[in-house]
Amino acid sequence: MDYYYVEGYYINAKGTKQKAKSGSIRLENVEPFARGFWASSRQEALMIATESLEGGAWIEEPIICSLSEKQRMRSIGAPELSGFETMVKRK
């Protein structure tokens, strides 16, 4: 089994119901999704992620890869935002 990161945007369950009634999506019902799953394939990771939406629906097909966005940005040497470093506990 491999570890896959699934990242994308989805409409929550409330937004899915409203879209079925009115045909439009309200911005307040759009949420980001970024989680990792142990799976045998990318399709299985997508299936598990879709089940975890709890009645929601993908806006567009999510990105599925073996590296997280944070790991991808660090590997290409992208600058990090100041103030968002990991906090070091002082003894």
Place of tokens 């992620």: 49
- Which amino acid does the sequence have at 74? R
Place of tokens 């699934």: 6
Instruction: Summarize pLDDT for 32-73 with one digit per residue, the tens.
Output: 999 999 999 999 999 999 999 988 999 999 999 888 878 888
Measured CA distances, 45 to 28, 35, 55, 63, 71 (Å): 26, 10, 17, 11, 19
- Which amino acid does the sequence have at 4? Y
Q: How far apart are CA 3 and CA 75, in angstroms?
A: 18
Q: Is the pTM of this model over 0.75?
A: no
User: Which residues are 54's β-sheet partners?
Assistant: none
Instruction: Summarize pLDDT for 3-32 with one digit per residue, the tens.
Output: 999 999 999 998 988 888 888 888 899 999
Residue 33, CA atoms < 13 Å, CB-side half-sphere: 29
